[in-house]
Homo-oligomer: A and B are copies of this chain.
Amino acid sequence: MKMSDGVEQAIHSVAMMAGLQPDGVLSASALAEFHGVSTSYLLKHLQALSGAGLLTTKPGPTGGYRLAHSPNDITLLDIVLAVEGTAPAFRCSEIRQRGPSPLPGKPTAPCGINAAMLRAERVYRDELAKVSIADVLGDLRAKDTDGAIAARGCAFLELNERRRNAN
């Protein structure tokens, strides 16, 4: 089981957008260049984030993306579900009902295997829901003892942020 690379790209992109001014946006190409990834691939994930209501989009040639909510209100779970979809990883196909000798009648109780798999997925999601983008950034700041990471982010935003007043 492998999560798409898009999740990593989406989380890093959202974290970068948390540094924008209230009227600023970032283009997909700037985010893709900064992270060394394909623009078309990243665009797909930014659109998924936008579709899930996590980003707002400013259209047009000077447009781009920004967060639709505070970094406190966007969790890793929100991003994972936006990029990977909301279906559980384990999908019961009711194989207990297949084959030449299916169970008589339609089962009323859910399959215990499915229930156990979904219970584990519930705790996984609950854990991801505990971590906001603000938490991720707080953790980053705590580790960034010489300020090199913050300086790199600031230099990127300085160069690439598109602001309403500048257009």
Interface residues of A (CB under 8 A from B): 1-5, 7-9, 11-12, 15, 33-37, 76, 80, 84-85, 87, 89-93, 95-96, 98-101, 103-104, 109, 112-113, 115-117, 119-121, 123-125, 127-128, 131, 135-136, 139-140, 143, 148-149, 152, 155-156
Contact = CB atoms under 8 A, between A and B. Distances in A.
A101 B8 contact: no
A50 B109 CA distance: 31
A95 B62 CA distance: 26
A35 B98 contact: yes
Contact of A123 (B1, B15, B85, B124): B124
Nearest to A32: B99
Given A1-B2, A33-B99, A120-B127, 12 more contacts: A1-B1, A1-B3, A5-B91, A7-B117, A8-B91, A96-B149, A103-B148, A109-B143, A112-B139, A116-B131, A117-B128, A119-B127
